[in-house]
Structure 1
Amino acid sequence: MTAKLFLGHRLRRLRRDHELSQTDMAARLGISPSYLNHLERNQRPVTAALLLKLAELYEVDIRTFANGGGHRTGPDELAEIFSDLLLSDLGVPRYELAELANNAPSVADAIARLYAALREANREGGVAAGGDARALVTPENWVRDYIQAHRNYYPALEEACETLGGALSHPLSMTEPMRRRLKDAWGVTAKAVPQAELGNISQLYDRERRLFLLSSELKSENRTFALAYQLALLELAPLLDRMVAEANAPDEGIAQLLHMHLANYAAGAIMMPYGRFLSACEDMRYSIDRLSGEFGANVEQVSHRFTTLNRPGQRGVPFFMLRVDPAGNISKRYAGDQFPFSRFGGTCPRWNLHAAFQAAGQVVTQLIETPDGQRFFTVARTIERPIKTELGGGLLAIGLGCPIEHAHKLHCAEGYDLDKAPVTPVGPACALCPRQDCGYRATPPAGRMLAVDRTKKTISPYPFVA
């Protein structure tokens, strides 16, 4: 049975974006104003016929509209926030959180932003009296929220990069065409130099001397990416500047971080132009190694590119991706439409992402199931840092996952009986996870009464009343 779609707030926002009254929009849709009013108040579900009509009249993508048009703070994330000790005694029921997320998404986003700022304040020791609370909005969180709001997809940037990347395509490597482009179009000479000459920098653009310096210790695919990045900064400067200005970042530092993210995105899109890359993904069944060879990219670059395949009418498998170090610090997090882990915390210890460190160089696969019954096929593998230094070296791990209904499209799922393979139960984060009898539980579940019996020891260190 197909779930009913209650999309009131999205419909209301669409109407207001087009500066229409309910009477005007209802007339265009061929429905009564009272029916439209019921739809906007979530008293009636949106039908498939109405979705098609919206797509025809307002050029909305049906899947994006039905999924919320980008990441918004959902009931699970609100539940994580309200499980905090500061709020858990309120006992806010889940249905109220769902109503808030669905009917007032901007308010839900504001709550999430405030909570993120509060966590940062606690970590930094608070804000001095009279200080600006906006300083607590960390660059990382702000840019991450921006990425999620756009579902890690930027149409104008993709179009420009596809044109540029297509012009630079070469059957052997894009490195030489990009080097020539920098020289001929911009008068910039790219040069590899010993790492000692750059200090703690791996690449440097010297504007005055028109030199682009690259560390000689960078691997070939990292050099290619660096050339694409510098080319994006020069060729796409007006577009990148406009996108950053429209984002209206809280301060210049965050704006610069966003600019770097967009330029990195562009570099990947230049190396792996959308249409050609998606076609290769489908032909090669998303084999990371084959795609790396085809496009002269590394594992991380290909994995990141997977998460950007959100073009309406030409979508790829909806992957989520994380990058972690051996200590468990998450340095990249790109969530798909569905993401089984906590937004503010880490991952479930039962997910074998960290097992990749014990099987360096190997592909580790796993089927996981969330408490609500959703299943994901996941892949984990280690990668090396671009440059090893005395202070920083060693391995990182990349984790990818997609809903199980897409797993049959993946090369690494061949041989799996997706209906009979073992499934590992996971949770969002220990403080939120409703699973009992889990020996991996690290913290008590928020808002639940413990059921500790001093006469016996349980598998879980924190048994609780269901």
Structure 2
Amino acid sequence: MDTADRKLFLGGRLKRLRRDLGLTQTAMAGDLGVSPSYLNHIERNQRPVSAQLLLRLAETYDVDLRALGQSGGPASEATLSEAFADPVFQGLAVPRHEIVQLAEDQPAVADAVLRLYRAFSDRRARERAVAGIDVGGDETPADRVRDFVQARQNHFPELDAMGERLAAELETETPGESFETRARARLQAHHGLTVRTLPDDVMVEWTRRYDPHRKRLHLSETLGPSSRAFAVAFQLALAEHDNELTALTASADMPDDATRRVLKVALTNTLAAAILMPYSAFHAAAEANGYDLGRLEARFGVSFEQAAHRLTTLSRPSARGVPFFLMRVDQAGNISKRFASGAFPFSRFGGACPRWRLHSAFRTPGRIVTQIIETPDGQRWFTLARTVERQGRDAFTEGHDLAIGLGCELKHARKLIHARGLDLAAPEVTPIGPACRLCHRHPCAERAAPPVDRAPAVDDWSKSVSPWPFVQEAG
């Protein structure tokens, strides 16, 4: 059948969009100029979506039409597949096409299934803890925060808006100065807070320490310029927008205080990144320079990891970037970071496939290695990987013991400077299984056991689970 004649049945995705917008069928039908019964037929896949209706959707709700083709919501195919892989469902053998149908056509039911499964997992974890059984694989505050961030596709427009406004004010107040100089001046002038860099033997195990009584932020001399700037941006974000961050944390309705603390740190770091790398300026620079990470590092005074992570947040409807995913691992294969602005079949419990060059990047420290991979569902992805240095005391002994993997769907690779010179029409492809626990039929699963996904412990604000690397070890 010719592509132009192919009918589009997007009922489940349209229903998910309507639910995310908080609209009834009657309200959305009125906005789109169609009858409620017609919209109802579309949502039940009894009518195809016309090109005219797609254009109305885009104009009325400022929706990128690509979003309707994504299935990476809270109850995506990969998330549901992972839940059904639990031994408690042994013997059911739920086929993939039923999982896809559930995720796309019945998103509310799919979310309900996941909520029940997570409630069951939490109760099982508590019972095991009481019995003294190891519960290392069950849901933690870090898991809950990761799920929340990924449900938002790692995009927080309210924090991006705050960051842009504050960055503009800093430039107006002290034009021509470095970000750290501008931020320090703002903290002193507006909040009476001073920033001091202290010797390593004074800071001992700390890389960043805030004294609220004396209003002093102490930073270790072992921090590099980009990590030091991020630490200052973090403190500025708290000083300027603590109330908004607290309100956003409360609105997430997390189940316990530990998860709320982790989430607030994550949101504060996200705001700090938005101040350091304002959305519009960062997006424009990325587009103009072919997403050249080296140029982005130099332009905004950030690290490779910070620039790579910021690329996973560019989902503003009016200025979307390439939808990247990111993963960070150590040499043992432990995963300490996973984020995506689009869909990618991450496994919460599994590890990165050993065929992915993310692991071989340790053999060429500091060099970017590229690879085109294919996941078991037939999707192809352009990826790049590079080692990064830890910041702080561990940098002296650990060196390049972390690696960042960054990638996007192959169809976007033509926009990337890192993909130039590759034959994207007939590429050399490596089949992998990024959700190794789920792809037991995939050949790579027979060759290596998946590494453990490790969640760092949370003890205080300077050593907390955080998606942004103002201190690399912070996770």
TM-score w.r.t. the length of structure 1 is 0.85
CA 1:18–1:268 in 2, change beyond 3 Å: closer, same or farther?
A: closer
* Structure 2 residue aligned with 1:416: 422
Give 1:315's aligned amino acid: R
Displacement of 1:63: 3.6
In the alignment, the residues of structure 2 paired with residue 289 and residue 164 of structure 1 have an alpha-carbon distance, to the nearest angstrom, of 25
1:41 is matched with 44
Secondary structure of 1:351's match? Answer: coil
Structure 2 SS opposite 1:236:
helix
Distance, in Å, in 2 between the alignment partners of 1:358 and 1:122 is: 41
Q: What is the distance in 2 between the residues matched to 1:365 and 1:19?
A: 41
State the distance in 1 between where 2:445 and 2:101 align: 34
Report which stretch shifted further, 106-115 or 273-282. 106-115
**Percentage of matched positions with identical amino acids:** 49
Pair 79,414 (structure 1): closer, same or farther in 2 beyond 3 Å: same
2:435 matched residue in structure 1: 429
Residue in structure 1 matched with residue 455 of structure 2 by the alignment: none
CA RMSD of aligned residues (A): 3.0
Q: Which residue of 2 aligns with 1:250?
A: 255
Partner residue in 2 for 1:147: 149
Name the counterpart of 1:160.
162
* 1:367-446 pair list within 5 angstroms: 367-389=372-394, 393-394=398-399, 395-433=401-439, 438=444, 441-442=447-448
The answer (yes or no) to whether the contact 1:371–1:434 under 8 Å persists in 2 is no
For 2:23 and 2:415, locate their aligned partners in 1 and report how far apart those are by CA, in whole Å.
42
Q: Which has the higher contact order (CA 8 A, sep 6+)?
A: 2
1:390, 1:296 → 2: CA distance?
Answer: 19
Alignment TM-score, normalising by the size of structure 2: 0.83
Once the 2 structures are TM-superposed, how far is the Cα of residue 368 of structure 1 from its aligned partner? 0.7
Cα distance, 1:308 vs structure 2: 0.7
| Residue in structure 1 matching 2:70, options 63, 67, 71 | 67
What is the SS of the residue equivalent to 2:306?
helix
Asked if the contact 2:355–2:444 (Cα under 8 Å) also holds between the matched residues in 1, the reply is no
Contact 1:228 1:267 in 2 (8 A): yes
Q: CA deviation at 1:64?
A: 3.4
Post-superposition Cα deviations, 1:325-363, rounded to whole Å, max 9, x if no partner, equal: 111111110023221443431122111111011111111
Give yes or no for contact 2:74–2:151 (8 Å, CA) kept in 1: yes
8 Å contact kept, 1:318–1:336: yes
Aligned: 1:188 with 2:193: yes
Q: Secondary structure at the match of 1:378?
A: strand
Aligned residue for 2:328? 323
1:277 aligns with 2:277: no
Partner residue, 1:233 = 238
Question: Are the counterparts in 2 of residues 367 and 422 from structure 1 also a CA contact under 8 Å?
Answer: yes
The amino acid that maps onto 1:165 is: A
Offset of 1:178 from its aligned partner?
0.8
The answer to whether structure 1 residue 212 and structure 2 residue 217 are counterparts is yes
Greater Rg by CA:
1
Quick one: distance in 2 between partners of 1:318 and 1:19?
A: 25
Count how many residue pairs are aligned between Structure 1 and Structure 2.
439
> Where do 5+ consecutive residues of structure 1 fail to align?
445-466
Structure 2 portions without partners, runs of 5+: 451-475
Contact in 1 for aligned 2:155/2:341 (Cα 8 Å): no
